[in-house]
Amino acid sequence: MNQEQIDKHVANTQEYWDCFLNNLQAPYAFWKDFKTKTLQEWVDACWNSPHIIKGINNLSQFPILKGEALVVSLDSGMLLTNYRFIHSEQNVLINIPLHNMNHYDIQTDVSDKGNDLVINYTKSGEKKTLRIDEWIKDEIVAAVRDASEFNKLTDIQKEILELSHYELSKLSLNAPKIGMLDKTVTVDKGCFG
C-alpha cells in the first residue's frame, strides 16, 4: 500500500457527507425519512442527534473509503456502515470490516440467562469472537451484508478498511479524517428584531 492508493480510495469530509446523503436511498437505510432533504438539511438534522455525532467521531479514527456511509449508530458509539461494523466500549473501538465478519447472531448465554450478541470475525488471519450485551438489530446488519457492497471492494480497499489512522501513521501514510460539516448558523435577532 502506498500514499497514491490512499489518496485514490479514501474520502475527505465533503465526499463522505455527499455519500452519506446519497446512501439514504439504499434499501437498508435506517434514516430513509431524510432522503429528500438537501445536504445542509441532513447535516443540521445530524447535529441534533448525539448518537450520529458520536458515530462520526468514532468513524474519524479510521480512513473512510469513498462510497462508505454510516447506516446506523447507537448511543454507545457502536455503528454500522455499508463496509464495516465498529464496536465501542469505554472509548475502545473494535473495527470489523464486513468482509471479515463470519457470524453475527443474538444468542442466549446460559451463565447469565440473558442474550448476547456473538460476532465471529477474522483479524490478521486470526479467528476472533466478540460477545457483547448490546447490539444493532440483526435484521439491519443482515440487510447490509445481503446488499454485499463490500464484496465489490478491491484488495487494496479492503486492506485500507482494516487499518486505523494510528496504524496508517506507523506506515508513514496519511489519510483525510472525516468530521461533521458545519451546521446552519442562525442569528437571534432579539426582542426588537
Residue 148: per-residue pLDDT: 94
How confident is the model at residue 52, as a pLDDT?
95
**Whole-angstrom Cα distance, residue 66 to residue 76?**
25
pLDDT at 112: 62
Look up residue 92 and give its amino acid. V
Q: What is the pLDDT along the chain (193 residues), one digit of tens a residue?
A: 999 999 999 999 999 999 999 999 999 999 999 999 999 999 999 999 999 999 999 999 999 999 999 999 999 889 999 999 999 888 899 999 999 999 888 777 666 666 778 888 999 889 998 888 788 888 999 999 999 999 999 999 999 999 999 999 999 999 999 999 999 876 555 555 5
Answer for the pair 103, 156: CB distance below 8 angstroms, yes or no.
no
CA within 13 Å, CB half, 91: 0
> Who contacts 138 (Cβ-Cβ below 8 Å, separation ≥6)?
104, 105, 106
**Residue-by-residue DSSP string for 42-77:** HHHHHHT-HHHHHHHHHHTTSPPBTT--EEEE-TTS
Cell numbers at residue 17, please?
Answer: 457527507
Quote the pLDDT of residue 118.
Answer: 86
What is the rounded CA–CA span in Å between residue 45 and residue 175? 27
pLDDT of residue 68: 98
DSSP secondary structure code for residue 191 in this structure: T
